[in-house]
Amino acid sequence: MTTTLRERAIVSLRSAPSLPRHVRIHYDPVRLAFAVLAPEKVFWPNDISLDILRRCDGQSTVERIIADLAADYDADPQDVADDVIAFLQEWSDKLLVKL
pLDDT (tens, 9 = 90+) of the chain, 99 residues, equals: 666 677 899 999 999 999 999 999 999 999 999 999 999 999 999 999 999 999 999 999 999 999 999 999 999 999 999 999 999 999 999 999 999
Helix (H) or strand (E) holding 41: strand 41-43
Contacts of 46 (CB under 8 A, 6+ apart): none
Say how many residues make up the chain.
99
Q: In what order do the strands lie in the sheet with 33-38?
A: 24-28, 33-38, 41-43
Distance CA 46, CA 17 (A): 19
Closest among 26, 36, 29 to 87, alpha carbons compared: 36
